[in-house]
Structure 1
Amino acid sequence: MAFPSFSPSCSDSSTVTCKASSYQYGTGDTENLSSTGHLLVAVFLGIVGSLGFFNNLLVLVLFCNYKILRSPINLLLMNISISDLMVCILGTPFSFAASTQGRWLIGEAGCIWYGFINSLFGTVSLVSLAVLSYERYCTMLGSTEADVTNYKKAWMGILVSWVYSLCWTIPPLFGWSSYGPEGPGTTCSVNWHSQDAVNTSYIVCLFVFCLALPFAVIVYCYGKLLVAIKQISGVTKGTARNREQRVLVMVIVMVICFLLCWLPYGIMALIATFGKPGLITPSASIIPSVLAKSSTVYNPIIYIFLNKQFYRCFIALLRCSDGPQTSSNKCSSKTTKICLTPRKAPNNNIAFNAASTKPPTSEEDKASNIVTDCPLHGVVDCQKEHAVTLVAHYTP
């Protein structure tokens, strides 16, 4: 099977189109992908693009249809879904079409545009995940009650994610590195293979501030939550222990999927920048690239559909119902923080901060609206079990 050639005349060898048709790492003696390799990449990109588009679109539909979901922390989740959806709409179709033809199709300007928007939306998604983990950390372990009717912090987090991402993705448009073809020439990204000082400095900064730093924030924040749960593992049992295990599994899945999607791409970029020319072949470089794009599929599943509120709204949508039948709007009013230090309670009783003055009516309401009286000798046990309940309910 041979791909038809529609390449323009390459008398001007500096154009991205010509570079993409003969682009090689290093000395240029490395063979390009075979037609079968291009076809496999196209199939994978088609699957990733389609699933990512429908998953993230469904998340936005749920958010718009059900008022119960419109909390500040869910607003951060919407920011992630929007950035992932933009990748599926404005990026993946062009790399899919290029893979079906075995070459880049929309010229030099299109390559620069593609590299910029994919870098921007990908960085927004990464930074938003870090902001989300920090917000959960502050909500669960903060010293004050979190008011989830206050959207100011959420909008500030969204603004920071976009401004921060723009600050790191605009420089290649003005000479600090550049955007160009990568791998077998069917996708475009930052110029990984150039080893001059200007490009190398940008790659190092991009790796540190747009991959390593967000990952460090995520690990620290979720790690602190896990430490808090570990401290109470000795006194919890039954349902509380199950919640503890559920949080642990979800955090591990979050971290593993983050590393699976982005670490190979970061390592490939560093090897291409600092390694010997030709060390990264086109066939090897395309794998981290498509793995990074697969994050548009994983993110809504991990961060959205494993969330009980979203899941119940999804079931309600399938049933054409106005709202989830087993959920409560109290979850959208105020949350209660984790408090690992027992408070002094008069008359041998202790009362926890509550999201509402109304008594809880279900297990989920108890997770978001806790008003509990505990005997003084049982204060620590009772308090710690509620802490696990809260973490399990809000993470996610």
Structure 2
Amino acid sequence: MVYGIVSLISLVVLSYDRYSTLTVYHKRGPNYRRPLLTVGGIWLYSLFWTVPPLVGWSSYGLEGAGTSCSVTWTLRTPESHSYIICLFIFCFGLPVLIMVYCYSRLLHAVKQVGKIRRTAARKREYHVLFMVLATVVCFMLCWTPYGVVALMATFGRPGLITPIASVVPSILAKTSTVINPIIYIVMNKQVRHRHFVLLRIMKSYGLTF
């Protein structure tokens, strides 16, 4: 679950980065400390919300067909319910609202400057914006069914979600970590070029499968 939260919070940071880049026009010099602190903060935030079940606030257990581990959604205790509510507020609802706000403001800004001649740098920013939007949409398509099923299992009547019915949303949610690299390779020329270079290097050493 920690990787899913890391992916979501990373998308929130990317949405704010696109928002600040396209709406704040003053140039900034390279600052490598800020990205490192941001990445560290993302992981700390994710760990903050995934460690509590290990110390008694809710718990982890097998889900679906018993092939994967996640929060015990069907545990009907006040501690479990409070944790799940906080988890969905701070690790799904609030991040999604932030992304919606940032991208709505971005789309408004793009509409306002639509009649102005675009420079090459501005076109690249729009391309990055479209790539991040595609990543967010794919993430939502992967995780929303899982979130809905989890809430139904938590607050619905016992047995409402069968193990078989929970398998597909669980698998779909886990594919989100695979979709992001594919989007970057398909839509980003630099990433695609470096990917092919890496494959050629691996092939030269006989590391390809």
After TM superposition, is the score higher than 0.5? yes
Alignment partner of 1:202 is 2:83: yes
AA in 2 matched with 1:313: R
Contact 1:130/1:214 (<8 A) preserved:
yes
For residues 314-368 of structure 1, the C-alpha deviation after alignment (integer angstroms, 9 at most, x for no partner) is 3445666xxxxxxxxxxxxxxxxxxxxxxxxxxxxxxxxxxxxxxxxxxxxxxxx
Alignment partner of 1:270 is 2:151: yes
TM-score, scaled relative to structure 2: 0.83
For residues 83-113 of structure 1, the C-alpha deviation after alignment (integer angstroms, 9 at most, x for no partner) is xxxxxxxxxxxxxxxxxxxxxxxxxxxxxxx
CA distance in 2, matches of 1:319, 1:176: 48
In the alignment, what sits opposite 2:115?
234
Task: Compute the displacement of 1:166 (Å).
Answer: 0.9
Contact 2:11/2:136 (<8 A) preserved:
no
For residues 43-82 of structure 1, the C-alpha deviation after alignment (integer angstroms, 9 at most, x for no partner) is xxxxxxxxxxxxxxxxxxxxxxxxxxxxxxxxxxxxxxxx
Task: Compute the displacement of 1:248 (Å).
Answer: 7.1
CA distance in 2, matches of 1:243, 1:121: 29
Task: Compute the displacement of 1:256 (Å).
Answer: 2.2
Alignment partner of 1:172 is 2:53: yes
Go from structure 1 to structure 2 and tell me whether the alpha carbon gap of 1:303 and 1:226 turns closer, same or farther (over 3 Å shift). Answer: farther
For residues 256-286 of structure 1, the C-alpha deviation after alignment (integer angstroms, 9 at most, x for no partner) is 2011111111111111111111111111111
TM-score, scaled relative to structure 1: 0.46
Alignment partner of 1:283 is 2:164: yes
Contact 2:184/2:191 (<8 A) preserved:
no
CA distance in 1, matches of 2:47, 2:155: 25
* Uncovered stretches (5+) of structure 2, i.e. residues with no partner: 202-209
Return the index of the structure with the highest Cα Rg.
1
In the alignment, what sits opposite 1:68?
none
Q: Please, which of 20, 27, 36 is the counterpart of residue 138 of structure 1? A: 20
Go from structure 1 to structure 2 and tell me whether the alpha carbon gap of 1:244 and 1:132 turns closer, same or farther (over 3 Å shift). Answer: closer
For residues 224-250 of structure 1, the C-alpha deviation after alignment (integer angstroms, 9 at most, x for no partner) is 22221111223458x99x979866754
In the alignment, what sits opposite 2:204?
none
| Higher fraction of helix | 2
Contact 1:139/1:146 (<8 A) preserved:
no
In the alignment, what sits opposite 2:137?
256
AA in 1 matched with 2:169: P
In the alignment, what sits opposite 2:174?
293
Contact 1:222/1:251 (<8 A) preserved:
no
AA in 1 matched with 2:75: S
Q: Indicate the percent of aligned positions where both proteins have the same amino acid.
A: 54
Task: Compute the displacement of 1:171 (Å).
Answer: 0.5
CA distance in 2, matches of 1:227, 1:247: 16
AA in 2 matched with 1:146: R
Greater than 3 Å deviation, 4+ residue runs: 234-237, 242-252, 314-320
CA distance in 2, matches of 1:245, 1:151: 23
CA distance in 2, matches of 1:136, 1:304: 19
Alignment partner of 1:314 is 2:204: no
CA distance in 1, matches of 2:116, 2:21: 23
* Uncovered stretches (5+) of structure 1, i.e. residues with no partner: 1-118, 321-396
**Number of residue pairs aligned between Structure 1 and Structure 2:** 200
Q: Give the aligned CA root-mean-square deviation in angstroms.
A: 2.7
